[in-house]
Structure 1
Amino acid sequence: MTSDSCTPRFRLALIAHDNKKDAMVALAREFAPFLQGCALCATGTTGGRLAQEVGLQVERMLSGPLGGDLQIGARLAVGEVDAVIFLRDPMTPQPHEPDINALVRACDVHDVPCATNVASARLLLQRWMAAQTV
């Protein structure tokens, strides 16, 4: 975020593996008033559920296995994403694991916060909400 006189919108990417989509919807409901003021992008199914079940405006990328993780990673690499919430399922092998690793690595390379579980996602969102009220 910049220090301009007007506050820019927080640009957040949202991704959730199949077994974590319900948790993502619950998290989005919990933070819906804040998320409504953000520029959101998400992988296909996750974005669809967030729009339908929470009423958020979400730019939908491809499904993760079809390249959605890579699309978000490309935006992140050029400074178009401020943070990523990627609710990963550590217990289920993912066929597109190399894409997942590339996205998380891109977060590390570009110093972009990446929450990979609900607890860290709550901390990230609470921090950004607090920054908006200062």
Structure 2
Amino acid sequence: MRRTAIALVAHDAKKDAMAEFAATHRLKLSACDLFATGTTGARVIERCPELQVKRLKSGPLGGDQQIGALIAEGRIDALIFFVDPLSPMPHDVDVKALTRLGLVYDIAMALNPVTAEMVLAMIEPLT
């Protein structure tokens, strides 16, 4: 049985929240294969150095598309994407494409911490 694969993405104003979320849920996340866009991954690793996070490119430099490709390949089970609805996003098209892929491929997708906790609660630990 393969490990659950989770992609972590956070807008700039939500990166601290993502790092804190990872710290709070480090035990559950340590049982998963984690992928993250560049800066988000760096912040999570800085806060939780024990977590193994595969860092991709920064979102605006192609990281969103890299995660989208992993979703399309069936390699991601859940997307945790802390969205900042109050800040304009210069790469909004990329963000919409990523969430669209999450919907098309029917993966669990959380856009805020409360929903992310619900997604993590559904993950069964490996035996």
SS state of the match for residue 122, structure 2? Answer: helix
Q: Calculate the aligned-residue CA RMSD, in Å.
A: 1.2
Identity %: 46
Q: What is the TM-score normalised by the length of structure 1?
A: 0.90
Q: Structure with the greater relative contact order (CA < 8 A, sep ≥ 6): 1 or 2?
A: 2
Q: What is the TM-score normalised by the length of structure 2?
A: 0.95
Question: What are the residue-to-residue correspondences of 1:88-103 with 2, within 5 Å?
Answer: 88-103=83-98
Counterpart residue number, 1:13: 7
AA aligned opposite 2:32: C
1:125 aligns with 2:120: yes
For structure 2, which runs of at least 5 residues remain unmatched after alignment? none
User: Could you tell me how far 1:54 is from its partner in structure 2?
Assistant: 0.9
* CA distance, structure 1, for counterparts of residue 100 and residue 20 of structure 2: 27
User: Could you tell me how far 1:133 is from its partner in structure 2?
Assistant: 7.2
1:64 aligns with 2:59: yes
1:37 aligns with 2:31: yes
Question: What are the residue-to-residue correspondences of 1:40-59 with 2, within 5 Å?
Answer: 40-55=34-49, 56-59=51-54
Please list every run of at least 4 consecutive aligned residues from structure 1 whose deviation after the TM superposition is greater than 3 angstroms.
none
Query: Which of structures 1 and 2 has the bigger CA Rg?
Result: 1
Q: Per-residue CA shift, 1:6-58, capped at 9, x if unaligned? A: x3211000000011011101110111011112111100011011112111111
For structure 1, which runs of at least 5 residues remain unmatched after alignment? 1-6
Contact 2:16 2:43 in 1 (8 A): no
User: Could you tell me how far 1:127 is from its partner in structure 2?
Assistant: 1.4
